[in-house]
Structure 1
Amino acid sequence: MKNSILETTNKEVYLDNLLSQFHIDDIDSFQSLKQDSLQKIKELSFPTSKEEEWRFMNLAELYKYQFKIAKATKITKESIKDLVVSEANSNCIVFVDGQYDRALSDIALSSDDIFIGTLQDVPDIKKNEIYTLLNSDQNKKDIFSRLNTIGLVDPAIIIVNENITIKDPIQLLFIATKQKNSLLIQPRTLVVAEKGSDLSIVEYYSTVENPYLELDQIVPYFTNSVTEIFLKDNSRVIHSRIQLESNISFHISKSNITQNQDSFYVLNQFDLGSKVSRNNIEIFQNGARTESYLNGLSLLGNDQISCTKTSINLNYPNGIIDQLHKYVIDDKAHGIFDGKIIVSKLAQITKAKQLNRNLLLSKNSHINTKPELQIIADNVKCSHGATITQLEANELFYLQSRGLSELEARHLLVDAFMREILMKIPHKSLEQKLIKYIASDIK
């Protein structure tokens, strides 16, 4: 298809076909929230490469499909055992095609310390706060976030009580099943770290095979996810996000992080799957002495397209932001990095660092990179930059002269480039799992 469906037909028709599948009734717990998003989404349109923020990313392939809302699918615990991080074996909440699967989930932590589950199980005393947070309009004005809200069913919710430290990680496992229909899967996650709390979460997206379908019967699906994390005063959250979906799928995500004073947030992000993916990450430092650290790795091959877009807003003094995102790009793949740090006039004595490093493994691979600083404050220490490199012939020759094959030499150099990010993972089994996958994926 030469042109996208949005360039050959009416944009509103494409959106209407999606919206017509959603039914909002009077007994829906999220009725007002959905109605509000439904009203506002009609003022928006699906992005094309003609728009500035999407000019390097062509969604034409996505718009070829009329996606259907996914329904609950039954899978076995055996089929997902390799996807569960061993450190989180007793605290893993599982969603299949966007629907909570209680039978596949394991929750061993005390309810006196933490709540892990979905809205229907949230204590009544917490429900009003949950509705308020889900209804927060901060940074949810894009069409994909609105679409996710309109399809809201029963989001994954984690609430850590005040001054509680959770030692073992909590895993949120989102599984997509391969089908012969193009499915729209819309996970939603809300995490609240109360004052003085400390926890680690693993947000993991993957897929399982369908033994009843031949390869030529399987069609692409679309994961459209929204994750919201609220850090109260003096709380800590270590967030590992793994995207390892089918190589014919589409994945668009929105991560909204709101930090109060003295809070500490780390994101370890890994994009390894999907044919077309985009991660929109927005951080609001809404308190003094707030720290945010973002570590990212995108490994692309074949004709994959992956974009990481970040917007970090520093609004109070003594804030710290340190961001490093690396791309390893092979074949005809295309990487996009669009990072922005905004330092307001009130954010004095800020330390901000942003770096994008890229390794191109073939002459047909390419990267578009745009690190950006917007500084109004005058007492700051800020830097940003980007590098693009290839494997050096003399380095390959040196390693081969020491007895390594060309493939082994390439693996060693690429591994050294990625190791800085992989070492940030706080969970050993997850680190080993990713290293094993990456080793098998590098040509």
Structure 2
Amino acid sequence: MSSSINVEVIHELPLQPNLLDRDGFLTGLLNQVTVSEKDDCLQQLRDGAVKWVRHSVIPNTRDEEWRFTDLSPLKQVDFKLGMFQEISLESDILSEVSQRLVFVNGVYSPDLSHTEDLLAGLKVGNLNVLSDEVVQQYLAQSEGTREVFTALNTAALNDVAVVWVGKNVVVETPIHLLFVSVAGESATISQPRVLVVAESNSQLGLIEEYTNHRDTENTEKEVYFTNGVTEIWVNENAQVSHNRVVREGAAAFHVGKTAVTQARYSRYSCNAVTVGGRISRHNLEILQTGEQTETTLNGLTVIADNQLADTHSALSLNHPHGVSKQLHKCIIGDRAHGVFNGKIFVPKPAQLTNASQLNRNLLLSSKSRIDTKPQLEITADNVKCAHGATVSQLEDDQIFYLQSRGIDENNARKLLVNGFAMEIINFIPVAALRESLLKTVTSLTNK
């Protein structure tokens, strides 16, 4: 792995005057960036990302990857940089988790975090816990750095939530990364960044949670934009269990990128749950860099009203004997719109790959909508791969059966919906978080 920051291609882009600042909305967001002088080692990354953003435009429905997700409501909002605010976290603290990092409007809060009593070989904190050499080796080195929202995040790079697990270190309890948005008088933007490195033969559990500050009134009407990027490096024979939870306000916008790099013999699992948000998008990209990796992806999207939630995943299996399994579920009510596009790439060198993908969707209203596209691209000739999608509604005979057992119709519907969701929620390793998510799912689906 290179120890130098790989931004030469970005710097070599011809800076034609007519191509600079192609998108006024992006230019406005770039103008909200503030940079700390102490982060000189990040300046090259930021400069390259700024140039890339200035050459870019916000995706629209004419772009194949965004054709079902209209971002025009996002472009109509004038966002200002979110500032740190003092808050209370009593409702968000997970008692089963010992280590916690908290960022408020993208700003690290050491007072709300808990990073004491760390295991030897474990580093949890902000960017200060890593040397410049390690930062240059891993930060912004994943595939997909030139995607416009990822580049926008890098252009605003000021601090990072860091979890670094040394060789042969086993972390028994999950580490909680909590990103809280507190809207001000005007719409705000925050751009959190996460860097996770699991060295060879290590094991780690991670809970990455995005939420709004629920102690204030009218949080459903507060407008803010979270543009987050998470890079996870799973080195040889390492294991990472990643749980990603998004619970944004009903008027919020959320775009998230998870870039995972798996070395040989490594194991990575992701349990991603998205509830709420006016428009939310999660780009999950996994790159296999060695043979015999295991990848498990579980996802749940629950939306109602006029919300839109989009999940795009891309799994590149470039080496032999890779095993992957993906199950993504959507529960869609009212006039909400769900989108799922899962891609699995199996080129010729990836012989003896075993990959499966399934998207299951439950529509709770005749006006709810799902666009689903499971996708396999295979050129290897000795593989076992399968993919599929189902779209259904609550069956009358199922409801009748429960009613015949003394359960009224409303509770019968609730029981069926919760059962559909619990298959994914049960993968979350913390009981308190599972219970909280189930309550959120119930409140949304009962609207």
In the superposition, the TM-score normalised over structure 1's length comes to: 0.92
Q: Which runs of 5+ in 1 are unaligned?
A: 1-9
- Partner of 2:69 in structure 1? 57
- Partner of 1:7 in structure 2? none
Amino acid at match of 2:263: N
2:277 matches 1:274 = yes
2:91 matches 1:82 = yes
- Partner of 1:342 in structure 2? 345
Q: Is the 2:222–2:249 contact (alpha carbons within 8 Å) kept by the matching residues of 1?
A: no
**1:322-361 pair list within 5 angstroms:** 322-361=325-364
2:109 matches 1:101 = yes
SS in 1 for 2:111: helix
- Partner of 2:7 in structure 1? none
Q: Is the 2:82–2:183 contact (alpha carbons within 8 Å) kept by the matching residues of 1?
A: no
- What is the Cα deviation at residue 304 of structure 1? 0.7
Q: Which runs of 5+ in 2 are unaligned?
A: 1-20
**1:302-317 pair list within 5 angstroms:** 302-317=305-320
Q: Is the 2:198–2:239 contact (alpha carbons within 8 Å) kept by the matching residues of 1?
A: yes
Amino acid at match of 1:19: L
Which whole-Å CA distance do the structure 2 matches of 1:270 and 1:214 have between them?
A: 23
Counterpart pick for 2:25 among 8, 11, 14: 14
Q: Is the 1:25–1:31 contact (alpha carbons within 8 Å) kept by the matching residues of 2?
A: no
SS in 2 for 1:354: strand
Q: Is the 1:177–1:210 contact (alpha carbons within 8 Å) kept by the matching residues of 2?
A: no
SS in 2 for 1:358: strand
2:168 matches 1:163 = yes
Q: Is the 1:179–1:210 contact (alpha carbons within 8 Å) kept by the matching residues of 2?
A: no
- What is the Cα deviation at residue 111 of structure 1? 5.3
215 and 86 in structure 1: CA distance in 2 versus 1, 3 angstrom threshold: closer
- What is the Cα deviation at residue 14 of structure 1? 1.9
2:407 matches 1:404 = yes
- Partner of 2:148 in structure 1? 143
- Partner of 2:44 in structure 1? 32
Q: Is the 1:178–1:209 contact (alpha carbons within 8 Å) kept by the matching residues of 2?
A: no
- Partner of 1:3 in structure 2? none
SS in 1 for 2:96: helix
SS in 2 for 1:56: coil
Amino acid at match of 1:45: V
25 and 39 in structure 1: CA distance in 2 versus 1, 3 angstrom threshold: farther
Which whole-Å CA distance do the structure 1 matches of 2:141 and 2:361 have between them?
A: 35
SS in 1 for 2:72: coil
406 and 238 in structure 1: CA distance in 2 versus 1, 3 angstrom threshold: same
Which whole-Å CA distance do the structure 2 matches of 1:337 and 1:386 have between them?
A: 10
RMSD: 1.7
**1:115-264 pair list within 5 angstroms:** 115-122=123-130, 124=131, 127-136=132-141, 138-209=143-214, 211=216, 219-264=222-267
Which whole-Å CA distance do the structure 1 matches of 2:61 and 2:265 have between them?
A: 39
* Identical counterparts, % of pairs: 40
Q: Is the 2:35–2:158 contact (alpha carbons within 8 Å) kept by the matching residues of 1?
A: no
Which whole-Å CA distance do the structure 2 matches of 1:12 and 1:110 have between them?
A: 45
209 and 11 in structure 1: CA distance in 2 versus 1, 3 angstrom threshold: farther
SS in 1 for 2:194: strand
Deviations 1:97-152 (A, max 9, x none): 00000000112342522000011233x3xx31222311315211111001101111
24 and 419 in structure 1: CA distance in 2 versus 1, 3 angstrom threshold: closer
Q: Is the 1:245–1:273 contact (alpha carbons within 8 Å) kept by the matching residues of 2?
A: yes
Amino acid at match of 2:61: S
Q: Is the 1:159–1:193 contact (alpha carbons within 8 Å) kept by the matching residues of 2?
A: yes
Amino acid at match of 1:198: Q
- Partner of 1:4 in structure 2? none
- What is the Cα deviation at residue 23 of structure 1? 4.9
Q: Is the 2:303–2:444 contact (alpha carbons within 8 Å) kept by the matching residues of 1?
A: no
- What is the Cα deviation at residue 82 of structure 1? 1.9
